[in-house]
């Protein structure tokens, strides 16, 4: 059965694909259907022909550049004398929409084998492209997260080992300073103590990147924190920079550590300042937003307080955007002020500790928005935020009275330095380098031992297993756990099971004496 011209026109217009047909060699359009006009948003432009398709139809490459005329589907089909498939075409419609197309271009031959026309069928693949972009972005975020997780584990292991070394340096230097009267010796020891303090601060920064364990948190109004930090920074940042806070009036309560959150914002402001050469603007905003899953890094869907620090600087090159949170990665390698590479890694560590998410977003035409999302705390207003922690006050050294301390540590230098320090404080010491040795020593002298110092990492037996064995012999023994890592779930479980307290390496003599004095009482 043959269709009439009217019926054929109806069928063509009802097809779910766009149809275009052009005459060869001129490229003059001879037919378009309704889907073509709907997809491109225009009628076939008058005068558009071979060599002049790109501008009238708004044809572009995915990167936004005009599509090369010699690579248009019309030209490819003629050159190939066969059907070609082209899927790198983006139409910039006059209404502002960008439509991604897959084009099938087929040459039409006459009886003599001469190409008379090119027939093109278009399908809108915008959703497919968007879906693929979302998949690639999701995989990129996951890959970055896994890479940072691996780096974090490596960093924590290194930090643990360094803390062991720094414990020896700290205790030995402090003990010798307390006993030496030689000015030259004391001066040298003071220099060592200063360098050791710097090393300790550096290791703490590394640990803040690697730590993801829960910390004691209080109710914090993030908008108030942002306004306060911006007010301080206005007096300290370059006067050529316009620094503003747009925090609105809505309640932006979260659960967090106010001092750490202030550090996060200060680091981001310094980073934004360094990205601007000369005059520029930095804007800090806080908003409560309902985020979809993955809208900020890998966040699950939910209600968040979103903090953004936006600068109009040079921006971050796409090639390095996924590396900016890695420890010791810095773009500030030139000029008088060079970066340490720990600013953003510290920010990431703190944000993760708070259960939050952070990402760097490019801003057109240039600049960057550092966007972080923290879970909104609905009842925050009912609880006043805690005061900012103050610096730890100096603790007086308190001596013992010959009480016996069991020191359990597999590192001989750490164990020896701790033992000598305790002896200088007036305690007697018995040592154990393995879990089995510790259990044997405690079994023989359980009633005599006043306090047990238990290192968290002992080969062969876990700290929990050692503690359980000690309790089986004497359930009221005071135990202090010593760790070169940060607070974690394993340490939390030990504290819940009855361990009296914990001591972070490297520790000072005064802190050690304070804990020993409290436990022997």
Question: Residue 383: pLDDT above 50?
Answer: no
Dump pLDDT digits (tens) for 501-520. 888 888 889 889 988 988 88
Residue 54, CA distances (Å) to 104, 110, 140, 380 in order: 17, 28, 34, 57
Cα 105 → chain centroid: 46
Could you say which DSSP state residue 397 is in?
-
DSSP symbols for 60-121? E-TTSPBPPGGGSHHHHHHHHTS-EEEEEEEEE-TTS-EEEEEEEEEEEE-TTS-EEEEEEE
Architecture of the domain defined by 218-382: 2-Layer Sandwich (3.30)
Q: Phi-psi region for residue 367, left (φ > 0), alpha (ψ -120 to 50) or beta?
A: left
Please report the pLDDT score of residue 160 as a whole number.
76
Q: 392 pLDDT exceeds 50?
A: no
Tokens of 516: 């020993």
Query: C-alpha 298: how far from its chain's center?
Result: 10
The DSSP code for 209 is H
Q: Report the distance separating Cα 397 and Cα 510, nearest Å.
A: 5
* pLDDT for position 215: 52
Residue ranges covered by each domain of the chain? 5-124, 131-210, 218-382, 404-520
Listed range (1-5, 87-91, 137-141, 464-468) with the worst mean pLDDT: 1-5
Say if residue 363's pLDDT is above 50: yes
Q: Do 453 and 482 contact (CB within 8 A), yes or no?
A: yes
309-362, pLDDT tens digit by residue? 999 998 888 878 778 877 666 665 444 444 556 678 778 888 888 888 999 999
Class of residue 11 by CB neighbours under 10 A (exposed 0-12, middle 13-18, buried 19+): exposed
Q: What is the mean pLDDT of the chain?
A: 84
For residues 434-439, average pLDDT: 94
Q: Which residue has the higher pLDDT, 431 or 389?
A: 431
At residue 49 the predicted structure's pLDDT band, cuts being 50, 70 and 90, is confident
Q: Which of 15-24, 42-51, 356-365 is the least confident region?
A: 42-51
CATH no. of 404-520: 3.40.50.2300
Q: Is 506 helix (H, G, I), strand (E, B) or coil?
A: coil
User: Could you report the per-residue pLDDT of 459-470, keeping only the tens digit for each?
Assistant: 889 999 999 999
Compute the distance between CA of residue 391 and CA of residue 352 in angstroms, rounded to an integer.
24
* Average pLDDT rounded to a whole number, residues 126-140: 85
pLDDT of residue 93: 92
User: Torsion angle, CA of 247/253/254/257, rounded to 10 degrees?
Assistant: 80
Report whether pLDDT(88) > 80. Answer: yes
Cα 122 to Cα 127: distance, rounded to the nearest angstrom = 14
Q: 173-215 pLDDT, tens per residue?
A: 988 988 888 888 888 988 898 888 888 877 776 666 555 544 5
Query: How confident is the model over 274-322, as pLDDT tens digits?
Result: 888 888 999 999 999 999 988 888 888 899 999 999 999 988 888 787 7
Which letter, b or e, does each residue of 257-276 get, where b requires 16 or more Cβ atoms within 10 Å of its Cβ? bbebbbbbbbbbbebbbbbb
Give the pLDDT confidence score for residue 388 in this predicted structure.
Answer: 37
d(CA 245, CA 286): 8
Three-state helix/strand/coil letters over 281-345? EEEEEEEEEEECCCCCCCCCCEEEEEEEEEECCCCCCHHHHHHCCCCCCCCCCCCCCCCCCCHHH
SS3 18: strand
Q: What is the pLDDT of residue 364?
A: 82
Whole-prediction pTM: 0.48
Whether 63 shows a pLDDT value over 50: the answer reads yes
Mean pLDDT of 56-75: 93
Q: Tell me which long-range contacts 46-51 makes (C-beta under 8 A, separation of at least 24).
A: 49/22, 50/22, 50/25, 50/26, 50/74, 50/75, 51/27
pLDDT at position 207, please? 67
- Cβ partners under 8 Å of residue 242, min gap 6: 280, 281, 282
Average pLDDT over residues 226-247: 86
State how far Cα 157 lies from the chain centre.
19
* pLDDT of 87 strictly over 80: yes
pLDDT in the model for residue 216: 56
Q: pLDDT > 90: what percent of the chain?
A: 40
Tokens coding 271: 């980073």
Is the predicted pLDDT of residue 148 greater than 70, yes or no? no
* Residue 99 φ/ψ, nearest 5 degrees: -115, 125
Cβ density class 117-141: b for 16+ within 10 Å, e for less: bbbbbbbbbeeebeeeeeeeeeeeb
**Which range has the worst mean pLDDT, 395-399, 436-440, 506-510?**
395-399
How far is 31 from 189, CA to CA, in rounded Å? 90
Describe the crossing of helices 183-210 and 343-353 by its angle, rounded to 10 degrees: 60
Nearest residue to 257 (alpha-carbon basis) of 219, 203, 201, 299: 219
- Superfamily in which the 5-124 domain is placed by CATH: PAS domain (3.30.450.20)
How crowded is the C-beta side of 459, counted as CA atoms within 13 Å? 3
């Amino acid at each position: 059965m043959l269709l009439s011209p009217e019926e054929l026109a109806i069928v063509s217009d009802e097809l779910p694909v766009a149809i275009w047909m052009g005459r060869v060699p001129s490229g003059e359009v001879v037919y378009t259907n309704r889907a073509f006009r709907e997809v491109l948003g225009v009628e076939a432009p008058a005068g558009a022909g071979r060599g002049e398709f790109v501008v009238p139809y708004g044809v572009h490459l995915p990167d936004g550049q005009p599509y090369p005329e010699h690579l248009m589907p019309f030209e490819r089909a003629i050159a190939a004398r066969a059907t070609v498939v082209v899927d790198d075409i983006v139409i910039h419609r006059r209404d502002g929409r960008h439509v991604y197309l897959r084009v099938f271009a087929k040459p039409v031959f006459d009886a003599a084998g001469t190409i008379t026309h090119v027939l093109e069928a278009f399908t809108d693949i915008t959703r497919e492209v968007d879906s693929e972009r979302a998949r690639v972005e999701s995989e990129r975020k996951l890959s970055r997260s896994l890479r940072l997780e691996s780096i974090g584990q490596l960093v924590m292991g290194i930090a643990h080992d360094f803390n062991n070394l720094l414990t020896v340096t700290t205790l030995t230097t402090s003990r010798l300073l307390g006993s030496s009267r030689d000015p030259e010796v004391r001066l040298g020891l003071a220099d060592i103590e200063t360098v050791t303090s710097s090393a300790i601060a550096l290791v703490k920064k590394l640990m803040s990147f690697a730590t993801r364990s829960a910390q004691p948190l209080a109710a914090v109004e993030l908008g108030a924190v942002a306004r306060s930090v911006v007010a301080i920074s206005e007096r300290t940042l370059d006067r050529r920079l316009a620094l503003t806070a747009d925090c609105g009036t809505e309640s932006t309560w979260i659960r967090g550590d106010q001092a750490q959150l202030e550090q996060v914002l200060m680091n981001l402001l310094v980073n934004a300042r360094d990205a601007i050469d000369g005059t520029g603007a930095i804007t800090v905003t806080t908003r409560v937003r309902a985020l979809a899953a993955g809208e900020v890094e890998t966040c699950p869907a939910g209600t968040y307080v979103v903090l953004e620090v936006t600068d109009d600087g040079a921006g971050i090159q796409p090639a390095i955007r996924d590396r900016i949170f890695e420890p010791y990665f810095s773009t500030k390698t030139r000029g008088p002020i060079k970066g340490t590479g720990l600013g953003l890694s510290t920010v990431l560590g703190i944000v993760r500790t708070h259960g939050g998410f952070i990402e760097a977003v490019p801003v057109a035409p240039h600049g960057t928005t550092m966007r972080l999302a923290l879970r909104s705390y609905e009842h925050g207003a009912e609880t006043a935020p805690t005061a900012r922690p103050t610096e730890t006050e100096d603790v007086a050294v308190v001596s013992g009275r010959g009480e016996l301390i069991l020191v359990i540590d597999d590192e001989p230098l750490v164990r020896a330095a701790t033992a000598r320090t305790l002896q200088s404080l007036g305690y007697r010491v018995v040592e154990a380098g393995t879990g089995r040795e510790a259990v044997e020593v405690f079994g023989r002298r359980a009633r005599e031992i006043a306090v047990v110092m238990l290192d968290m990492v002992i080969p062969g037996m876990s700290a929990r297993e050692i503690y359980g064995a000690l309790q089986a012999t004497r359930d009221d023994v005071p135990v202090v756990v010593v760790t070169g890592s940060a607070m974690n779930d394993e340490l939390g479980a030990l504290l819940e099971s009855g361990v009296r307290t914990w001591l972070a390496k490297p520790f000072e003599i005064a802190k050690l004496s304070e804990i020993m004095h409290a436990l022997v009482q």
